[in-house]
Amino acid sequence: MSYEYQIVDNIVIFKFNRGKLNSITMETLQGLNEALDRVNNEEALKGIVLTGNGRYFSGGFDLGTFTSFQSKEEILDWFNFEEDVLLKLFTCSKPVVAAINGHATAMGMILSMACDYRLVVNNPKIKLGMTEIKIGLALTLVQGAVMRFGLDTDKKYRDVIYKGEFFAPDYAIAREIFDELAENEEELLEKAKAKVTSMIDTPGRPFIILKELEKMQTVDWLKSKMKEVDWEPLVTTFTDEKVVNTLKMVKAALGE
C-alpha cells in the first residue's frame, strides 16, 4: 500500500509509504480520507500526525498518474476528490501535526501547510519547497488557498511559490514557515504526539471551536468558489504535450 496508519496513544499516525518518494496516489488520498473521518467522528481519537517512511516525507503526487490521464473526465474526477480530501485535512476538527522526517516537496509541502503545526528533522540535506512553476504547473483552488493561508504573508507566498526553489529546514524555521526542529525521527514523533495532546487535552476541548473560527473565512470562501471553479485550465495543462513530456522527464530523473 502507498500508506500505513496506526493508532498510538489515541493519536492516528499516518505514514506516507510508496517507493522512495512516498508519492501521493489515489489510494493514498482514499486512506487519508478514511483516517480523517475517523479522527473527526471518534471521540477517543485526539488528532493525527502525518509523517513519511525513509528519506522522504512526500515528494508530491504520483507522476505516473499525471502522465497517463485518458480523458477530461478522469482528470476532473481525480482532482475533485483530491480537493475534497485536502479541504478535509485543512478543516479537520482536531489537531493535525506534520512530522516532516525528510524531503517535503510539491504536494508533500502542501499537505504540511494544511496542518496546524509543523515539525521537521534538523538535517541540512532535507529539501523543502515548491518547484511547480518551473515545470509548467500551477495550483488548484484549494492547494493555492492552503499554501496562502499557511505561508501567512504575500512575501512568503511569492518567495516559495514564484521562485520555485528548494530550501532547508533552518530556512523554514527562520522564516517561520515551519514551527520547530527535532534532532532525529524518534524525537520528531514524540514531539508531534505531544503537540497534538497539548492542543486537544484541555477542559471542553476549545481547540475545536478556535480552529473553526481561525479558518472560517478562508473555508467559507473556498466552498463558494469550489461550486463555480473553471477546470478548463487544469484540463489543458494535463493534456498539453509539452507539460506531459516535462513531467515524464522529471519522473525519469527521479527514478520513480
| Domain that includes residue 92, residue range | 3-200
Whole-number Å distance between alpha carbons of 250 and 243: 11
pLDDT value, residue 251? 87
pLDDT value, residue 207? 98
Q: What is the DSSP string of 49-61?
A: EEEESTTEEE--B
In a domain, 47, yes or no: yes
Report the Cα 92 to chain-centroid distance in Å.
13
In a domain, 189, yes or no: yes
Structurally, the chain folds into a number of domains equal to: 1
Whole-number Å distance between alpha carbons of 99 and 175: 18
**Average pLDDT of 5-28?**
97
Counting Cβ atoms within 10 Å, is residue 256 exposed (0-12), middle (13-18) or buried (19+)?
middle
Question: Per residue in 29-52, pLDDT tens?
Answer: 999 999 999 999 999 999 999 999
Whole-number Å distance between alpha carbons of 222 and 44: 30
The two beta strands, 11-16 and 56-58, are unpaired
54 confidence band (pLDDT: 50, 70, 90):
very high
Amino acid at residue number 103: H
pLDDT value, residue 255? 77
In a domain, 207, yes or no: no
Whole-number Å distance between alpha carbons of 123 and 182: 9
Question: Per residue in 92-129, pLDDT tens?
Answer: 999 999 999 999 999 999 999 999 999 999 999 999 99
In a domain, 220, yes or no: no
Q: Nearest 5 degrees, angle CA 93-CA 85-CA 11?
A: 45
Q: Tell me the pTM.
A: 0.96
Give Dmax (Cα) for the chain. Answer: 56
Q: Which of 29-43, 62-76, 170-184 has the lowest mean pLDDT?
A: 62-76
In a domain, 213, yes or no: no
In a domain, 127, yes or no: yes
In a domain, 256, yes or no: no
In a domain, 60, yes or no: yes
The secondary structure element, H or E, covering residue 114 is: none
202 confidence band (pLDDT: 50, 70, 90):
very high
Place of cell 484541555: 202
Q: Phi/psi at 243 (nearest 5 deg)?
A: -65, -45
Q: Which three cell numbers stand for residue 113?
A: 501547510
Whole-number Å distance between alpha carbons of 12 and 19: 22
Whole-number Å distance between alpha carbons of 134 and 119: 27
CATH number assigned to the domain comprising residue 176: 3.90.226.10
**182 forms bridges with which residues in the sheet?**
121
